[in-house]
Structure formats: structure tokens, C-alpha cells
Amino acid sequence: MLTLGVNIDHIATIRQARRTVEPDPIAAAVLAELGGANGITIHLREDRRHIQDIDVQLLRKTVRTHLNLEMAATDEMVLIALDIKPDYVTLVPEKREEITTEGGLDIVGNFYRLKEIVVCLQSADIPVSLFIDVQETQIQASADTQAQFIELHTGKYADAPNAIVRQKELEFLRQGCEQASNLGLRVNAGHGLTYKNVYPVACLPRIEELNIGHTIISRAVLVGMERAVREMKLAMRGQL
Ligand code: PXP
């Protein structure tokens, strides 16, 4: 069954706009779960621009589905993950000046460092997912780190300027899923997915979880969190 991880970072983005206590990411996670979220995803960024350390601690105690902690491959974040023990960690690249995560991780170029972190987290029973672009070499290198999961970056598919390019990007995703699963990797996907473009990705064989944030929180602002998540689950089944 394809599952949905709801990224609630933007709830914290709104709160941090005023450095106040509302809206509360904990309440958002509860409502997302009531709406059918299969997991809650948060990105603790080095600059703490949205999610704060206390959110991670509280969500660890309150999330009833699973907690996916997105983080950069730094010593600071590894220590936090070892302390919090999320249900899994997704390693992502991070640049201070970016608005959101831009490309995927360069596993090939940072192989030994990343493998060390994968082994360290996994030996503490924390499964690891690597957020990568859809490239054969990156998929192979991900398998070589012994990570259990990859998350394929769907940004190029989402940003495709026309239907022909979108179809081509979807085909790359399909091939990426196949290569990864033949290598024994479990496959998640995400970034830039919306109510309108999610269905073809949801239909790809072998994908286990979609991680979706911006479009769900945008709709939640208008219609409420529970309904926004329920509607995304419908969209993933082609029923919206
Ligand atoms: N997956 C990863 C690794 C991400 O960094 C993000 C953005 O935080 C997402 C998925 C969700 O992307 P979006 O907010 O565009 O749905």
C-alpha cells in the first residue's frame, strides 16, 4: 500500500513568522493523522528557520504513526537523531540561502562520509533514507552505502514546463524505481507534488511512501488540516 508522509514544516514556518506559539505543529500532526496521514515528516534545519528542537522532542512523544526526521548529514544532526530516535531519518542536502531543499544529495561525491553516517544511524536501529536525484550512479551509490531507503526527488517532474517533458521525467522515475528495487532499496518519493500532479507518481510500481508538504499545508490553511490530508489521499488514488 502506498503511504503518505505529511511534511508539517510550514506550520512551524507560520509560527516562526511571529516567533509565537501558534499554529502548533503538534496539533497539526494530530489532525494530519486523523485525516489519514501514514507518517509525519519534519526537517530540522541547521538555521532552525521553522521546526525547532523542542518540536522534534514533542513530536517524538506524540506522533502515533511514524516520524520521519529530515536532516543534513552533519555531526550536530546525527547526535540529535541518536538522541530522539525517529522512526527513520532522511538525509537531505542543505544550503543556507535556499528557499527549500533544491537538488538531491551527492552520494557519489560524498560516499565515505555518508556511508559512515548511514552505518552509525542504522547501528542505533534508525533506518536511513537518502534523498537523491533520479540518476543511475546516485541510485547505485545509495545501495552501496547499505541505506534501506532512497527518496527520489520529484522536483523535475513537478516543474516540467509541458506534458512531453513531464512524461519523460515520469519515465525516469519509473526506471529509477526499478533500478533501486532491483538493488534491494526501498523507494519513497517527494518534492513539488501537488493535488494535480500526484496521481501518475502514485501509480508508479514499487514506491512505498510519498512525502508531501507545501501543497497540503497550503490547502489546510483554507479548508483545515484533516480535510486537506483526506483529499490528498483521494488524489493519490485518482479520486479527487
Ligand atoms: N521530501 C524532501 C526530502 C523534502 O526536503 C521536502 C521539502 O521539505 C519534501 C519531500 C516535500 O516537498 P514539498 O513541500 O514540495 O511537498
Question: Can you tell me the distance from the alpha carbon of 210 to that of 87, in angstroms, rounded to the nearest whole number?
Answer: 16
Least Cα distance to 226 among 6, 3, 1, 51 occurs for: 6
Helix (H, G, I), strand (E, B) or coil at 164: helix
pLDDT tens by residue, 105-115:
999 999 999 99
Q: What percent of the chain has pLDDT over 90?
A: 95
pLDDT confidence band for 95 (50 / 70 / 90): confident
Handedness of CA 81, 87, 88, 94 (dihedral sign): negative
pLDDT tens by residue, 129-180:
999 999 999 999 999 999 999 999 999 999 999 999 999 999 999 999 999 9
Taking the CA of residue 88 as centre, how many other CA atoms within 13 Å lie in the half-sphere pointing to its CB? Answer: 22
pLDDT tens by residue, 42-51:
999 999 999 9
Contact partners, residue 23, CB within 8 Å, separation at least 6: 11, 14, 15
Where does residue 140 rank: exposed (0-12), middle (13-18), buried (19+ CB within 10 A)?
middle
CATH code of 213's domain: 3.20.20.70
The partner residues of 90 in beta bridges, in order of sequence, read 70, 129
Task: Tell me the residue type at 126.
Answer: I
How many structural domains are present in the chain?
A: 1
The rounded Å distance from CA 168 to ligand 1 centre is 21
Taking the CA of residue 59 as centre, how many other CA atoms within 13 Å lie in the half-sphere pointing to its CB? Answer: 35
Query: What number does the ligand 1 atom closest to the CA of 5 have?
Result: 10
pLDDT confidence band for 98 (50 / 70 / 90): confident
Q: Which domain holds residue 128?
A: 3-236
Active site residue 70: yes
Q: Is 209 in the pocket of ligand 1 (CB under 6 A)?
A: no
Q: Is 213 in the pocket of ligand 1 (CB under 6 A)?
A: yes
Question: What would the mean pLDDT of 62-68 be, rounded to a whole number?
Answer: 98
Q: Is 151 in the pocket of ligand 1 (CB under 6 A)?
A: yes
Active site residue 50: no
Q: Is 211 in the pocket of ligand 1 (CB under 6 A)?
A: yes
Distance of CA 162 to CAs 152, 166, 193, 238, Å? 21, 6, 15, 21
Question: Can you tell me the distance from the alpha carbon of 180 to that of 129, in angstroms, rounded to the nearest whole number?
Answer: 12
